[in-house]
Amino acid sequence: MKNLLVSFCSLIFLACQTAPPPDLSPNAIIPSPTLITYQQMELIGFIHFTVNTFTDKEWGYGDESPEIFNPSALDVEQWAQTAKAAGMKQLILTAKHHDGFCLWPSQYTEHSVKNSPYKDGKGDVVGEFVAACKKYGLKAGLYLSPWDRNHKDYGTTAYITYYKNQLEELLTQYGEINEIWFDGANGGDGYYGGANEIRKIDRDTYYGWEEIIAFVKNLQPNIKIFSDAGPDVHWIGNEKGFAGATFWSTINTDNLTIGASKTDYLNSGDPKGTQWIVGQCDVSIRPGWFYHADQDSLVKSPQQLADIYYKSVGRNAILLLNLPPDKRGVIHENDVKSLTEFKALIDASLATNLAKGQTASANNYRLKHSKFDPQNTLDGDPTTYWATDDSVFPATLEISLTEKTSFDRIMIQEPIHLGQRISQFEIDVMGTEGWSTIKKGTTIGYKRILRIPKVNTHKVRIRITEANNTVALTKVGLYLSSPKENLE
């Protein structure tokens, strides 16, 4: 019995000795697992398609006849295939834009596909779109414009009931919807059932956003709600697709109002933010959000799209790229060509991580335990990370390459399940005269991709000089970009 007790105690002792130390304690503000999964999508697509496609307008007045919605060869699968081939993980469709025309046969209005020639009024573009997304493994999102220039009741409480009824249709009839997009454009002139007048609303109170948000979450608990105030995903403050070079995923919602948030604030986030809201950069592949034949020659080049990618995905945000179908109902050949070449460019530039399998060391690693080993930044595993002991500044990670290597892109990632921490860092490379600083930066977050002039070296180091908590990094990558990135 005594022997048994001794062996038992030694087992416990051994277990205590080998048990891994606890994780780094997280910041007070961290993303939910759902938002981490959302951010990992990185690149998603927008589909702007409605009566405007046929009237050649950007904002329909609301007096369009449903008869004009008549795509000759609508192919929702081409949308999904195109998005999938470009590496997008989700598509968002304008189920209703400001003109009020509904791409699904809503029972609450006559202003919809049900009165159009499309499939003799039997079509349901929303339903077909969601099915195509599902078929190609994409998440589906919907845009339902709060502003409605067609509806006679816009501006009164009756319209809010109408809006909620429409939300209920969209969020109960089509299976899982991953994102709902609440646009900030609100109130102005319109048809309004024939009144043809200007209607202004109070942005703070009219929609009763808190109640609408609760209503939406009740119908689809896993949905992400986009607006310029979140609550899950927020607008980046411009329609050019750029996040700030300093970009925090935390933000203080007290400073935000849907339709009236300060654009600079949205563009940088807030290190003192009280909520984690993912930043989303929306931009169109063409000058307009809707298709216009006279913009066929103005499709953004693969190089322009790559630049946008670095300033969105490469700055800790989501890129939402708009691909507007034409009057046939397909994404135009020029757009597909540019998008395909953009994807090839990014793949060529970022496919080979030259730091993989190389050696990482650090001035400090937590408890000198393998769980926090600097080598974890090079193992390709997003769940492992390097961390220092508390309050070690600078925290320096050094990568030694077996051979002198040329690179001009550096990817750095923080383990954001612990929060966003880093606010100042510098990158040095070893040359014949010793270390020299080639880049200074601020935030990192989920992903930062830095473009630097090409260097050829066998040692690079990242010195993190300021953070709001103990430093941790999950990944460092070194890449040599495709020479085609610079050809216009």
Task: Specify burial of residue 180 (Cβ count, 10 A radius: 0-12, 13-18, 19+).
Answer: buried
Cβ proximity to ligand FUL: between 265 and 276 the closer is 265
Which positions from 273 through 302 interact with ligand FUL, judged by CB under 6 A?
282, 289
Cβ proximity to ligand FUL: between 58 and 379 the closer is 58
Which positions from 44 through 73 interact with ligand FUL, judged by CB under 6 A?
58
Question: Cβ(62)–Cβ(52) under 8 Å?
Answer: no
Cβ burial 382-419 (10 Å sphere, 16+ → b, else e): eebbbbbeeebbbbbbbbebeeebebbbbbbbbbbbbb
Question: Cβ(275)–Cβ(253) under 8 Å?
Answer: yes
What number of chain residues touch ligand FUL (CB under 6 A)?
6
Cβ proximity to ligand FUL: between 185 and 198 the closer is 185
Residue 270, CB-side half-sphere exposure with 13 Å CA sphere? 19
Residue 260 lies near ligand FUL (rule: CB under 6 A): no
For 268, the token pair is: 């940088």
**Among the candidate windows 70-78, 179-187, 310-318, 368-376, which touches ligand FUL by CB under 6 A?**
179-187
**Best CA proximity match to 378, nearest among 285, 288, 478:** 478
Tell me the Cα Rg of the chain.
Answer: 25
CB of 143 to ligand FUL, least distance (A): 7
Residue 185 lies near ligand FUL (rule: CB under 6 A): yes
**Best CA proximity match to 468, nearest among 291, 318, 269, 282:** 269
DSSP string, 325-393: B-TTSSB-HHHHHHHHHHHHHHHHHHS--TTTTSEEEES--GGG-GGG-GGGGGSS-TT--EEPSTT-S
CB of 299 to ligand FUL, least distance (A): 17
CB of 203 to ligand FUL, least distance (A): 13
Angle at which helices 302-312 and 333-350 cross, to 10°: 60
Cβ proximity to ligand FUL: between 284 and 474 the closer is 284
Residue in the shown chain whose Cβ atom is closest to ligand FUL = 185
Cβ proximity to ligand FUL: between 73 and 185 the closer is 185
**Among the candidate windows 178-186, 301-309, 396-404, 458-466, which touches ligand FUL by CB under 6 A?**
178-186
CB of 241 to ligand FUL, least distance (A): 11
What Cα–Cα distance (Å) separates residue 388 from each residue in 26, 252, 358, 361, 372?
14, 29, 20, 12, 7
In degrees, rounded to 5, the angle at the alpha carbon of residue 290 between the alpha carbons of residues 306 and 329 is 100
CB of 291 to ligand FUL, least distance (A): 13
Cβ proximity to ligand FUL: between 31 and 146 the closer is 146
CB of 181 to ligand FUL, least distance (A): 8
Which positions from 429 through 458 interact with ligand FUL, judged by CB under 6 A?
none
3-state secondary structure 144-202: ECCCCCCCCCCCCHHHHHHHHHHHHHHHHCCCCCCEEECCCCCCEEECHHHCCEEECCC
Residue 183 lies near ligand FUL (rule: CB under 6 A): yes
Strand 224-227 with 179-181, pairing: parallel
Cβ proximity to ligand FUL: between 232 and 414 the closer is 232
Cβ proximity to ligand FUL: between 58 and 270 the closer is 58
Question: Cβ(447)–Cβ(314) under 8 Å?
Answer: yes
261 — phi, psi (to 5°)?
-85, 150
**Among the candidate windows 180-188, 304-312, 355-363, 380-388, which touches ligand FUL by CB under 6 A?**
180-188
Cβ proximity to ligand FUL: between 47 and 212 the closer is 47
**Among the candidate windows 19-27, 182-190, 306-314, 324-332, which touches ligand FUL by CB under 6 A?**
182-190
CB of 289 to ligand FUL, least distance (A): 4
For residue 323, the one-letter residue type is: L
Which residues pair with residue 459 across a beta bridge? Answer: 400
Strand 318-322 with 43-47, pairing: parallel
CB of 398 to ligand FUL, least distance (A): 44
**Among the candidate windows 177-185, 366-374, 438-446, 462-470, which touches ligand FUL by CB under 6 A?**
177-185
3-state class (DSSP) for residue 445: coil
Q: How far apart are CA 287 and CA 299, in angstroms?
A: 7
Cβ proximity to ligand FUL: between 235 and 342 the closer is 235
CB of 430 to ligand FUL, least distance (A): 46
CB of 128 to ligand FUL, least distance (A): 21
Which positions from 333 through 392 interact with ligand FUL, judged by CB under 6 A?
none
Cβ proximity to ligand FUL: between 184 and 271 the closer is 184
CB of 147 to ligand FUL, least distance (A): 8
Q: How far apart are CA 421 and CA 464, in angstroms?
A: 10
What Cα–Cα distance (Å) separates residue 58 from each residue in 48, 98, 118?
10, 10, 21
CB of 183 to ligand FUL, least distance (A): 5
Cβ proximity to ligand FUL: between 232 and 282 the closer is 282
User: Using CB under 6 A as the criterion, which residues of the chain lie in contact with ligand FUL when the complex forms?
Assistant: 58, 183-185, 282, 289
